[in-house]
Each structure stands twice: as C-alpha cells, then as structure tokens.
Amino acid sequence: MPDAPVTTQSTIVRRAGGDVIVSWAGVTDRGRKREINQDAVLAHFPLFVVADGMGGHIGGEIASASTVARLQKVVEHGDITPEAIEDALLRAVGDIGDHPETTDEGTGTTVTGIYLHADGEEDAWIVLNIGDSRVYLDRDDALAQITVDHSLVQELVASGRLSPEEAENHPYGNVITRAVGPSESVVPDYVRLDVRAGDRFVICSDGLTKELTDYGILHFLRQNADPAAAIEAMLAAALENGGRDNVSIIVVDVKDAAPTAEHGVSTADSPA
C-alpha cells in the first residue's frame, strides 16, 4: 500500500450553467513484482495525468518523472492548451535524451489524462492520450473507456485479427506503438467531453487494468463515493490479484455545488 495516506481534495468551478465541485485523489504504487516504480502521477487541478515509464535500468522512471515535471510547469503557468501540452512533451523528450542515466533507446513513457477547460461558457473536459494508459468515464452508472490504446494488440483488435477476449492475455500485450521519448512525435489524441455533474473519471496505468476488469473498476466506484476511498479499494484489489506491475490511479469526481460552508471547500485551486 502507498507510503502516505490517500486524501481527497476539492475545488469549486464557477460556471454559467451551474457551479460544480471537482474532487480528486491520486496514488502510485510499486506493486508486488517490480523493483522500482516507473510510474508518475500529476494530480494538480485542473490537470490530471498518469505517466507509465518504460526502458532499461531506470530509464522509465526518468521518462515519466521528466514528463510530469514539464506538465507541472504548464499548470503553474496557468494556460493549459493542446499547444502548451505538446510543447511541454517536446521539452520532456529533450530532458529524457539529455539525462546522464538515459542509456536505453527504448526509454519513454505513456501520458494519459484529462484537464478542465473552463471559461464560463464552453466548459469541457479535454482527454489526452499517448500510449496504453487509460481514461475511463463513469456516467449514469455505466463505465466507458474514453481513450484508445496505442498498442500492437489494439491494432490487431481494430483490424479484426484479434478478439477483445484474446487480447487480454496476448504475449505482445505490453508492446505500445506511441510514447513520449523514443521519437519526437509527441502529439496526443484528444477527446472533448461536456462537464456534467455526477461524472467520475478514472485515469490509470495498465498496472491496474492488468489486475481489474472494467466491471471490477465500476464495482469499486459504486462501493466508494469518495475518490480516495475508491482508489484505496482498487489498489488493494490490484495488489491482491498479483500486483504484477506498478499501479497508478487518479479518480476525479464532478458534483453539483452547494453552499461553500456546507461542503467546506475553497474556490481556490488546491495543490496536488
């Protein structure tokens, strides 16, 4: 289990269509089989990202940490746009290549997450993805995978050469086709979603999805209304099921806003 307690943070988002409370929690864990944790997590409103590193020695750790550090600077600057994100990822590629301990040509990382584009009128969640970490949306008590894996197995499924059931245990399941680091192509796929009270997002590395089915993820969301509690339950289940890889999870909830005093939340952005 994580060294520090998992805690939920919240902020109020003022909107013309009705204020909402955004609450979130995040965790990353080494798992039961890996010697080091090559995952990194950024949970700093309004940007929430999971990065799953890959590469020999500590290459994956370098890649994921470098990428999250660059994205953190985007949050601090305060102008989160696709252009700012892509510039940060390009800079991360340079950081990874320049690091003295980057020796493996395959060093890189996935980058998957969401950010809130809120201007009071055309508010939206922007989902971004490079690699095979995932974003799920629990809306109206049904779980949908929003991102499409950039993986060899997914390409085989899309071409009809492999069924989803066969893909689950395919020997090439870890082969991804796009990452930050191995090349300068660092443009994510984007999906735009409306902001709707009641929505719950799960952002996770494949260390979770290797151990829990989509139904299992939905089960723990149903059983735990608080993001931190949901994360702790999912992490415990993933470790109990084997914990074969590093496990990173962020849960982001959207709720109708009530008077601030009742909920005890601040309108200021909360730190990660």
Rounded to whole angstroms, the Cα distance separating 171 from 180 reads: 23
Helix, strand or coil, per DSSP, at residue 157: helix
Q: Can you state the angle between helices 227-240 and 214-223, rounded to 10 degrees?
A: 140
φ, ψ dihedrals at 136, nearest 5°: -110, 150
Give the pLDDT confidence of 82-102 residue by residue, as tens digits: 999 999 999 999 999 888 776
Rounded to whole angstroms, the Cα distance separating 233 from 217 reads: 9
Amino acid at 270: S
**What is the pTM (predicted TM-score) of this model?**
0.90
Give the pLDDT confidence of 196-220 residue by residue, as tens digits: 999 999 999 999 999 999 999 999 9
Give the pLDDT confidence of 22-67 residue by residue, as tens digits: 999 999 999 999 999 999 999 999 999 999 999 766 789 999 999 9
Rounded to whole angstroms, the Cα distance separating 114 from 125 reads: 6
- Of 175, 135, 122, which Cα lies nearest the Cα of 151? 175
The structural domains of the chain, ordered by start, are 9-263 (3.60.40.10)
Cβ density class 103-134: b for 16+ within 10 Å, e for less: ebeebbbbbbbbbbbbeeeebebbbbbbbbbb
